[in-house]
Structure 1
Amino acid sequence: MCTHDKNHAFAKAKKRTATGPTASLKDAHHDDEHSIWNRRSFMQALGLVGGGSIMLGGTNLTASAPSRLTTALATAENEDRVLVLVRLKGGNDGLNTIVPVYDYDFYANNRPSIRHTENSLYNLNADFGIPQSMADLQSLWGDGAMRVVHGVGYPDQNLSHFRSSDIWASGDAVNYEETGVLGRYFENLYPDFLINPPEIPAAIQIGSQGNLIFDGVDNSYAFSVANPAQLSSIAENGVLHDVLDVPGCTFGEQLEFMRGMTNTTFTYASTINEAYENATNAVEYDTQSLGRQLAIISRMIKGGLGTKVYLVTLGGFDTHANQQETHDNRMEQVARGMKDFFTDLEASGMHTNVMAMTFSEFGRRIEENGSNGTDHGAASPVMVFGPAMQGNGFVGTHPDLQDPDQVGNLKYGTDFRQVYATMLKQWLCIDGGLVDEVLLGQSFESVDLGFDCESLSSGSFDIADTFQHWSSVQGNDTFIEFTMSSTAKVTVTLYNLLGQEVGTVVNDFMYEGPQKFNVKERINKRLFTGQYIYQIQFSGKKYSKSILVK
């Protein structure tokens, strides 16, 4: 049964807290922030705008409409290249990851309880070493398949998990940007993604949900799943819910949307599961969190899924207390995971097509605290793995431990967006102009990671379109607005959230200049309050965006 006297609408909710450029050195509100952080992650996981989320056997699944990124990447040179992002969630302690042997006494004196003893280190060169927990990286380093970028960060480092994670994902260290680097890329390359998505997701995310890096204005583009093998029996059925037999009211519209997105989840799950079942692992991975994730990704890559970007997540890096055992365990997972991953890929001859990089929202303080741990810091190293680098080495200058910033943290020397730009331009071979655009109009110099890609002419890609369109609400009326640069035949169509046509808003010649149309007047039939999608077509191009009808 439906009630029409109460209107409900889906809204994208992202709770944000204003913070200054630095947080209290004693992390006075640390527990409160974690509470906010977890609530935010939960809201994002709901995916009520442009995506859907469900639970299956204790496994979180999120589906959202992918974009034309897959097509753009497929037309680029080196089309088989894959990028794996390894998120070290919580703020990785860079000084206990890449130990500064060149200034060991100062390092050790500031960390009497948590330091790694000098004679226990594996020296990467005369100046830097890694702890025994990371011994599995010795072979990658020795084979020229590992590089370290020193002191990665950004100006006025924010010490909030919540805010700094968003900065790394959005690429904006100043403004509260709600779209991500890759989300903007997807959106610019495929303006009609809400109506015409491709058959495979452009990005796969394992281990966490709702990361801002894949967010566009209306959609999150990541497909997030913990274990594709669990989806096999359900994927065989194609769909789970009936989307036709629903009530004709606001509740019915919302129910139809959620059922449709659940079915979409299984559609993509079937594609992923097919690739997963087409391959096997050639090595026995660690059974802890990161090993399980990398084992799944390896099978997807070897099984021919075709996705270019993957994100995995390993938590537990917020080491305020009793750090040594926890951090050693996490870095052991990273080291063994990377070794097993590339050994597995090598068995199929695909190891040279894959690059992996670690990142974390910030580093830790130079000195340990009173709880045998470290508090939030600033700069931290990024580790890059892959035999295509053809040589090990260090990039940039290590921060001077004895010359910290004004609040006592390591100064950054390499902007994290330089690493992003390098991966997008030089590894995935994306046109530099497009990369600059998704980095919010800024151009960042690439760093030397030992691989290159000939600059592609802009003619090889679709240049981002400058056509602007938006919706507005005045009282109880909703309008679609846009500006025409020349006269053309224009069709504006309204769809529900399953892509089913609701009606035509306009189908006529439009003259140069601003245009504005009242949706309910033009459709001329009852529209239930809720979320819809409109599509504008003219001159052989299509544009779509979500719209709230009141």
Structure 2
Amino acid sequence: MCDTNHSQNIKSKKDGSCNTEDHKKWNRRSFLQAMGLVGGGSMMLANTPLSVSRPSPLSLALSEVENDNILVIVRLQGGNDGFNTIIPVYDYDTYANARPLIKIPPSEFITLNEDFAMPKPMNKLERVWGDGQMKVVHGVGYDDSSLSHFRGSDIYANTNLVEDDRTGFMGRYFNEIYPDFFFNPPASPPSIQIGSIGNLIFRGPQNDFSFAVSSPQRLTQIIENETFYNLNGLANCTYDDKVRFLREATNTTFNYAEVISAAFERSSEYTGGTYLDDSLGRQFRIISRLIRGGLGTKVYLVTLGGFDTHNNQIQRHQTLLNSFSEGLSTFYDDLTAAGWDDKVLTMTTSEFGRRFKENGSLGTDHGTAAPTMFFGSPLNGNGFVGEHPDMSSLTRGGNVIETTDFRQVYATVMKEWLCIDEGTVGKVLLEGSPLESLDLGFNCSGTSSSGLPTDGESLTHIPTYSDNQTFITIISPQTTHIDVELFNAVGQKVATLSNDMLMERAELIINVKEAANTKLSTGPYIYRIKTNSGNFSKSIIIS
């Protein structure tokens, strides 16, 4: 429970006492890891590990969106080779000359139109294309693409091309407009990851609020017995603060596990076909049952790994594409039979594409741009979006130049499918001006925007940091009663910072540590401002 430098500071717990000075500074994420807990709340469902986000800013905001639209993100982990996925038939000679040993021959084509084809292992998607439920966005990427798996994955999650930002674009967005998710969790988990954990997309500015239980069997017992960890009798000290945090977070996941299991049991197995008994097939099978069981989750992230094809690419890549094709087509057959297909949009993502020219090991090295594929009846027809990269104009590293900014893809999905207002989307994606939507066949015209609470023009509140102190500056356009409360990371109220009248246009500056009138541990907090015109919240850090 403690590191070797400070173990002597912890008193015996036999007498119920504890040292209030022990471990003044402790990292909750490190603590969770030490206890066998890692990023992504997890349970076993249908013999597949399933990660549940504790209510993140993304989760809460998506749960408030006034439509039933669901987004499924399929992560092709490792860097998918777009040229052998969507074959550029229109300039086949250039393609074949760059890949003499790993090219897809015309005899192996599934023709999409006169310019592009798919390889035969993707044959199950031929009908999806023919039914008008597949579109491809060409050349998705960004300038000066990172060729690192880790950095590339982070950039696609956080959209920050300049700094190593440890937040995700969706988590960052919802942390701004609905940061009080700690103490106001939704009834069901609006975001779920299956097959991989720890992706930055759902991470807010201060913390990753998801974790994995190391023993799924123990979690199953708790679901069945409806028992939770006891929070009574914990003292006001660092040791018990750790225990309290751990139990609160774990109880939250237990609640979600119960809800997830109930949704799973409300639906039945798909009888119109058979999912492949592989990783992706099991993931699709689970989320189909959760969707059909009315779980209410807005975003799912599933993962198919193995796309880092530096050698022996042909067999490896085609096996992966076959798994993807089988899983995706069965998933939509399943949804269609249950009448859910018009509510579910699926898109692919990968940390980068592959180099245009093959290497000396019958494979391809890390590259730049790659196509993003979309699936579902909301697309209202098949087709291609954007311009295919020029295969005759390569960078010095032998890569094609992207033709579609990946942030434009995200912006389109957020604005036109999840129905989030344009100004907020631009801010979240770190763009000063709004990004133009791609024509993917769906839009939010006539659909109300998210209706999420925003500060608007009614109040200005800005946290600032100086000389190891945290300040909150508040300005109201009108005279109002103001109540400022401070909450810790598990949603417990720790202090009232202000309870007074604020005159019109007057500036109120609160020194958080002084106003709290109690000892505050180092770490993330949330303040909530209550006024006559509404409530406002934001995350802060106490150092």
The TM-score, its normalising length taken from structure 2, stands at 0.85
- Output the CA distance in 2 between the equivalents of 1:226 and 1:358: 29
Match of 2:534 in 1: 541
Alpha carbons 1:62, 1:209 under 8 Å: kept = no
1:331 is aligned to 321
* Corresponding residue of 1:360: 350
For 1:178, the equivalent position in structure 2 comes to 166
Moved more, 112-121 or 460-469: 460-469
For the residues of structure 1 that align with 2:97 and 2:217, how far apart are their CA atoms? 49
Residue equivalent to 2:149: 161
Query: CA deviation digits over 1:35-79, x for unaligned, max 9?
Result: xxxxxx9999745xxxx7578799574542244865666553xx1
1:504 aligns with 2:504: no
| Structure 2 residue 508 is the aligned partner of structure 1 residue 492 | no
Partners of 1:199 and 1:223 lie apart in 2 by: 18
Counterpart of 1:450, as a letter, is G
After superposition, what is the alpha-carbon deviation per residue over 1:437-469, rounded to whole angstroms, capped at 9, x for unaligned?
322233222222222331657795544547333
Contact 1:206–1:224 under 8 Å retained in 2: no
Matches within 5 A, 1:200-279: 200-220=188-208, 232-279=220-267
The structure 2 residue matched to 1:403, chosen from 388, 393, 396, is 393
| Residue of structure 1 aligned with 2:54, choices 64, 68, 74 | 64
Mapped pair 1:138 → 2:126: yes
CA distance in 2, matches of 1:176, 1:216: 14
Tell me which amino acid in the other structure corresponds to 2:311. A
Equivalents in 2 of 1:229, 1:451: separation in Å? 42
Rounded Cα–Cα distance in structure 2 between residues aligned with 1:432 and 1:504: 35
**Residue of structure 2 aligned with 1:93, choices 72, 81, 91:** 81
How far apart, in 1, do the equivalents of 2:226 and 2:471 lie? 35
Residue 461 of structure 2 corresponds to residue 468 of structure 1: yes
Which residue of 452, 455, 465 maps to 2:443? 452
Residues 140-178 of structure 1 show CA distances to partners (whole Å, capped at 9, x for unaligned) of: 011111111111111222212222222211223234433
Check 1:387–1:55 CA distance in 2 against 1; reply closer, same or farther (3 A cut).
closer
Instruction: Please say which of residues 201-210 and 168-177 is displaced more in the overlay.
Output: 168-177
1:191 deviates by 3.5
| TM-superposed deviation, 1:517 | 3.6
Between the aligned partners of 1:424 and 1:534, the Cα distance in structure 2 is: 27
Q: 1:70 to 1:534 in 2, by over 3 A?
A: closer
Aligned to 1:9: 25
Greater mean deviation of Cα atoms: 288-297 or 502-511: 502-511
When structure 1 is superposed on structure 2, of 437-446 and 94-103 the one drifting more is: 437-446
Structure 2 CA distance for partners of 1:186 and 1:294, relative to 1, 3 Å: same
Q: 2:298 aligns with which of 294, 301, 308?
A: 308
The residue type equivalent to 1:470 in the other structure is: P
SS at match of 1:169: helix
Aligned with 1:152: secondary structure? strand
After TM superposition, give the deviation of residue 228 of structure 1 in Å: 9.6
CA distance in 2, matches of 1:133, 1:42: 43
| Contact 1:204/1:310 (8 A) holds in 2 | yes
Q: Report the alpha carbon displacement of residue 436 of structure 1 after superposing the two structures with TM.
A: 2.4
Which whole-Å CA distance do the structure 2 matches of 1:459 and 1:234 have between them? Answer: 35
Residue-by-residue CA offset, 1:507-547 (whole Å, 9 max, x unaligned): 22234454344445444445556655443322343344555
Alpha-carbon distance between aligned partners in 2 of 1:44 and 1:402, rounded to the nearest angstrom: 51
Describe the shift of the 1:4–1:80 C-alpha distance in structure 2 as closer, same or farther (beyond 3 A).
closer
Distance 1:249 1:222, change over 3 A: closer
Q: 1:106 aligns with which of 87, 94, 97?
A: 94
- Given residue 490 of structure 1, which amino acid in structure 2 is its aligned partner? I
Q: C-alpha separation between the residues in 1 aligned to 2:528 and 2:332?
A: 44
CA RMSD between the two structures:
3.3
- Cα distance in 2 for partners of 1:235, 1:66 equals 22
Q: 1:349 to 1:55 in 2, by over 3 A?
A: closer
Residues 236/509 of structure 1: CA separation in 2 closer, same or farther (3 Å cut): farther
Determine if contact 1:85/1:310 at 8 Å carries over to the other structure: yes
> Residue 176 of structure 2: which of 188, 197, 222 is its match?
188
- Cα distance change on mapping 1:338 and 1:381 into 2, 3 Å: same
The unaligned stretches of length 5 or more in structure 1 are: 15-40
Question: Alpha carbons of 1:351 and 1:368: their partners in 2 closer, same or farther (altered >3 Å)?
Answer: same
Aligned residue type for 2:429: L
Where 2:316 maps in the other structure, the secondary structure is helix
Corresponding residue of 1:322: 312
Q: Which amino acid aligns with 2:500?
A: D
2:115 to 124, 127, 131: 127
Counterpart secondary structure, 1:234: helix
Q: What is the count of residue pairs matched by the alignment?
A: 516
Question: 1:25: which partner in 2?
Answer: none
Tell me the SS of whatever aligns to 1:363: coil
Secondary structure of the structure 1 residue equivalent to 2:364: coil
Shift of 1:121: 1.6
Partners in 1 of 2:526 and 2:454 — Cα distance?
24
- After superposition, the Cα gap between the structure-2 partners of 1:8 and 1:548, relative to the gap in structure 1 and judged at 3 Å, is farther
SS in 1 for 2:332: helix
Question: CA separation of 1:412/1:349 partners in 2, compared to 1, >3 Å: closer, same or farther?
Answer: same
Structure 2 CA distance, aligned partners of 1:42 and 1:314? 28
Offset, 1:216: 1.9
Q: Which amino acid aligns with 1:515?
A: L
| Paired residues of 1:479 and 1:516 also in contact (CA < 8 A) | no
The offset of 1:132, in angstroms, is 1.8
SS at match of 2:103: coil
The 8 Å contact of residues 101 and 362 in structure 2, kept in 1 or not, is answered as yes
Which residue identity lines up with residue 135 of structure 2 in the other structure?
R
Alpha-carbon distance, 1:471 to partner: 6.0
Sequence identity percentage: 46
Check the 8 A contact 1:107/1:401 in 2, yes or no: yes
SS at 2:184 equivalent: coil
What CA distance in whole angstroms lies between the structure 1 residues aligned with 2:429 and 2:245? 33
TM-score by length of 1: 0.84
Distance 1:227 1:437 in 2: 40
Gaps of 5+ in 2: 1-11, 13-17
2:341 to 351, 359, 363: 351
SS in 1 for 2:346: strand
* Greater Cα shift, 372-381 or 276-285: 276-285
The verdict on how the C-alpha distance between 1:532 and 1:426 changes in structure 2, with shifts beyond 3 A counting, is closer
Shift of residue 265 of structure 1? 0.7
